[in-house]
A and B are shown apart, each in its own frame.
Chain A
Amino acid sequence: MDGMHDLGGVQGFGPIEIDPDERPFHHDWEARMWGLNEAMTGDPRWTIDWWRHVRELILPLDYLRRPYFDQWAQVYAALLIDSGMATVVELATGKAAGPRPELGPPMQAEEVAEAARRTTDFRRDGGAKPAFLAGQKIRARLSGAPGHTRLPRYVRGRPGTIHACHGNHLLPDAGATGEHRAEPLYAVAFRTADLWPEAAGSPDRIFLDLWESYLEP
């Protein structure tokens, strides 16, 4: 979707607020929200891509204004309602009115250390061979896609060069609809001079990891 989340290259933003305080959380509620995200047992059909898409669908002004972990709270509220596990009234009051969803027991404290060491592998070997080779010139597809996609607006239609192939990775566009489908994923280099009028003559490059269906020869 062409949403407010697609911020790369958008102009008009001011200086970056650099906070020298490096503590992981600045408010207790931020820490709670993050811990809830890690510890909760939700709908087994939720995928990382559906999660990201639900965040992208936050109203544009809320997306720009609301603090980061507050957006996570909004995402979970929407996910729970969408999956039929909670109602707006329950989320507003914090009190359960409906039945408990039929899920296994939630994660216990003694399981956290093990869970924190768990990685997720998004690579799927086998399947299609990569159509492009390192060094090959390509162009990013001009149009976006409905639903969730990871092809940012700022490279669409622009020429780039295949830097490397990462093998076949699960496609987020499919993951956001509950489908698990992999295709070749590439690191693609774009010269800033090919992206921005003010970057003529610059040696700088932007690297993005893009799936094969996002690219054209």
Chain B
Amino acid sequence: MASYDSDKVAKIHRELHSHLPSEPALRVKALESLLVAKGMVDRAAVDAWIDAYADEIGPKRGARVVARAWRDADFKARLLADGAAAIDEFGYHGHATGHLKAVENTDKVHNLVVCTLCSCYPFALLGMSPGWYKSNEYRARAVRDPRGVLAEFGISLKPEVEIRVWDSTAELRYLVVPQRPAGSEKLDEEALAGLVTRNAMIGTALCQGPA
């Protein structure tokens, strides 16, 4: 039974530090073998989870949601009012989207999402999070120097544009609705979704019009 004892777990971490294999691949292999041997995991289920997130569950989902918000003002209003209910219209609910909040970029406001304390992310809508999102550098700097961080992603905002950084400290998860690019007026929903990148839905990219 879980002890909920911080000191006990700190001691366990120190012990593990000096006893487990040095390579992560070997540590994970040993963990998987042990969990299978103890009847706590079925390998086929592990495979099925990896497959589900390889393609079907990924940023294409978020892109379709944004594309619809761009074309359908009523849907956008529903999305901004209750993100979790709005993505249910697509059947996209799942991990970490139970309390989804959509935030909209405008000429006056640019939104950026981070999790400074760990790496919270709306998995069922955007898939696995990028490596940089989980990095110490991004977590430390996004709240301190958002303009410097955005510049590294190639974004330069006018000084009067307000940056709103959303630090995911609770179970709410954030989706940035980027600005619809010029030149996309005639595109249908599917073509519009093709303009929406993963980074744009985190706030580290702007959407570009059709080439």
A residues bordering B, Cβ < 8 Å? Answer: 1, 5-11, 13-19, 22, 24-29, 31-36, 38-43, 45-46, 50, 52-55, 57-59, 62, 64, 66-70, 73-74, 76-79, 81-86, 88-96, 100-101, 103, 105-113, 116-123, 146-147, 150-152, 154, 166, 169-170, 172, 176-178, 185, 187, 192, 195-196, 203-211
Kindly state the separation between the CA atoms of A208 and B45 in the bound complex, as whole angstroms.
Answer: 36
Interface size counted on chain B using CB atoms at 8 A: 98
- Contact (Cβ within 8 A) B24 A29: yes
- Contact (Cβ within 8 A) A19 B132: yes
Kindly state the separation between the CA atoms of A188 and B1 in the bound complex, as whole angstroms.
Answer: 36
Kindly state the separation between the CA atoms of A187 and B167 in the bound complex, as whole angstroms.
Answer: 10
Q: Mark B104-120, 1 if CB is under 8 A from A, else 0.
A: 00000000001011110
Among B46-54, B72-80, B185-193, the one that faces the other chain is B46-54
- Give residues 37-82 of B contacting A (CB, 8 Å): 37-42, 44-50, 52-54, 57-59
Report the minimal beta-carbon distance from A90 to chain B, rounded to whole angstroms.
5
Report the minimal beta-carbon distance from B39 to chain A, rounded to whole angstroms.
5
- Contact (Cβ within 8 A) B28 A29: yes
- Give residues 139-155 of B contacting A (CB, 8 Å): 139-144, 146-147, 149, 152-153
- Contact (Cβ within 8 A) A92 B20: yes
- Contact (Cβ within 8 A) A116 B3: no
- Contact (Cβ within 8 A) A57 B10: yes
Determine the chain B residues whose CB is within 8 A of the CB of A67 once the complex forms: 24
Report the minimal beta-carbon distance from A122 to chain B, rounded to whole angstroms.
4
> Who on chain A is nearest to B124 by CB?
A116
> Who on chain A is nearest to B114 by CB?
A8
Kindly state the separation between the CA atoms of A149 and B12 in the bound complex, as whole angstroms.
Answer: 21
B residues bordering A, Cβ < 8 Å? Answer: 1-6, 8-10, 12-17, 19-21, 24-25, 27-35, 37-42, 44-50, 52-54, 57-59, 84, 91, 93-95, 97-99, 114, 116-119, 124, 127-128, 130-132, 134-144, 146-147, 149, 152-153, 159-172, 198
- Given B17, B40, B162, which contacts A204 in the complex, CB threshold below 8 Å? B162
- Contact (Cβ within 8 A) B135 A152: no
- Contact (Cβ within 8 A) A16 B152: yes
17 A-B contacts, Cβ less than 8 Å apart?
A: A8-B143, A16-B135, A26-B131, A38-B46, A40-B35, A66-B24, A74-B27, A83-B2, A88-B15, A92-B30, A96-B38, A100-B40, A109-B44, A122-B98, A169-B99, A204-B147, A205-B164
Kindly state the separation between the CA atoms of A157 and B1 in the bound complex, as whole angstroms.
Answer: 37
- Contact (Cβ within 8 A) A16 B46: no
Determine the chain B residues whose CB is within 8 A of the CB of A203 once the complex forms: 159-163
